[in-house]
Amino acid sequence: MWDAQIPAFTRHFQVLRYDTRGHGQSLVSEGPYSIEQLGRDVLALLDALDIQKASFCGLPMGGLTGQWLAINAPERIERLVLCNTAAKIGTPEVWNPRIDTALSGGAQAMRDLRDASISRWFTLGFAEAQPAKVEPIVGMLAQTSPEGYAANCAAVRDADYCEQQGVVRAPTLIVCGSGDPVTTTEHGRFMQERIQGAELVEFHAAHLSNVQAGDAFSQRVLDFLNA
């Protein structure tokens, strides 16, 4: 997810990236999960590596994890970058059928979700012009554990920080995509209005602005982190 940023980010920072519980090489524990659980995974990882404080950059679900950390462990967060996310993402009517599909359909369902995700994650023009950038990302979804995917969908479904954002004190950058059909710029402005001093930037991108905006995304985030 972050391959495009690593060369630029590592010139300025020690960078820690990890597979969220239920994804990649991380443990697929029994679900459903919660964003609190995912946030505590981050704190456990920081503790294990003796990292007392860090800036956190998270995209969609990672943005929810970042919000939880800034609200519940503010002493651990230096700066916060919330990318293509919202205080609340979707409704049970959106998430429950997706959870049921993943659990009942197994690997085939994940392949179907892969195809459906292309139009949400990338604008049509980008998906057609940059298949070499799109295919590894959507292919990763097709290889994700159905149980892990469903457990994380439940975490997103149940997360709601609409009433808690006013307590965030970490300097915050909110990144939006003008073509994002899931977490819109309006969702970003909602957070900006409630998080004191928050900055907002919008790129011509869909749901994965870091992939689609590439170098421009990296530079804007670095400018913020180095401010």
Residues in the chain, total:
227
Percentage of the residues of the chain whose pLDDT score is greater than 70 = 100
Of the candidates 35, 47, 151, the one whose C-alpha atom is nearest the C-alpha of residue 88 is: 35
Confidence of residue 115 (pLDDT cuts 50, 70, 90): confident
Residues 6+ apart with CB under 8 A from 103: 146, 147, 150
What homologous superfamily is domain 6-225 in, according to CATH?
A: Alpha/Beta hydrolase fold, catalytic domain (3.40.50.1820)
Per-position DSSP letters for 125-150, written without gaps between them: HHHHH-HHHHHHHHHHHHTS-HHHHH
Q: Give the tokens for residue 58.
A: 């998270």
Is residue 82 within 8 A of residue 58, CB to CB? The reply is: yes
What's the one-letter identity of residue 25? Q
Under DSSP, the state recorded for 104 is H
136-145, 146-155, 218-227: least confidently modelled range: 136-145
Phi, psi of 151 (to 5 degrees): -65, -35
Q: Provide the pLDDT for residue 193.
A: 98
What's the one-letter identity of residue 66? G
What's the CA gap between 130 and 107, in Å, rounded? Answer: 26
Is residue 35 within 8 A of residue 65, CB to CB? The reply is: yes
Confidence of residue 32 (pLDDT cuts 50, 70, 90): very high
Q: Above 90 in pLDDT, residue 36? A: yes
Global confidence as pTM: 0.95
What's the CA gap between 199 and 193, in Å, rounded? Answer: 10
Q: Give the tokens for residue 211.
A: 């992939």
Q: Above 90 in pLDDT, residue 117? A: no
Q: Locate the domains of the chain by residue range.
A: 6-225
In sequence order, which ranges of the chain are alpha helices (DSSP H)?
6-9, 35-48, 61-72, 92-121, 124-129, 131-142, 146-158, 185-194, 209-213, 215-225
Residues 6+ apart with CB under 8 A from 14: none
Of the candidates 53, 154, 146, the one whose C-alpha atom is nearest the C-alpha of residue 107 is: 146
Q: Tell me how crowded residue 67 is: count the other CB atoms within 10 A of its CB.
A: 27
Q: Provide the pLDDT for residue 113.
A: 84
